[in-house]
Amino acid sequence: AYRMKSVSLIRADIDNLPFKEHVFDKVFAFTLLHDFSTIKMTVQEVLRTSKNESTIVLTGLKKVFSKKRFIEALREEGLKFNIIPTPPSVKDYLALFSTSHKAKNK
């Protein structure tokens, strides 16, 4: 088994995280995107707390988003990402990106 040192579990509101800017180099945010109205705030908060060159995985519930709408929602936030293929039994779409791969909004 793999042991991690200095790992803490913190329960918080994703749209108002209790962390300083640019503290995480890896972010795994599972079943995070499930409400169209908060996507912008949620993505901004994840980016705010991520270091430059961070690796980020965001997921969106399949029962809320079509794959096309999930991709559109992330593009609307200026993100360049890869969708990780998942079998039908997985309940989320997975998107992988780095903060160094943010697109410029045009």
Q: Give this prediction's pTM.
A: 0.76
What is the C-alpha separation between 106 and 87, in angstroms, rounded? 34
Digit-coded pLDDT (tens) for 42-72? 888 999 999 988 999 999 899 988 999 989 9
Kindly give, in sequence order, each residue whose CB lies less than 8 Å from that of residue 106, ignoring residues fewer than 6 positions away: none
Domain residue spans in the chain?
24-100
Domain 24-100 in CATH 3.40.50.300: no
Q: What are phi and psi of 83, to 5 degrees?
A: -85, 130
Digit-coded pLDDT (tens) for 9-27? 788 888 888 999 999 999 8
Strand 50-61: give its sheet, edge to edge.
24-33, 50-61, 92-98, 82-84
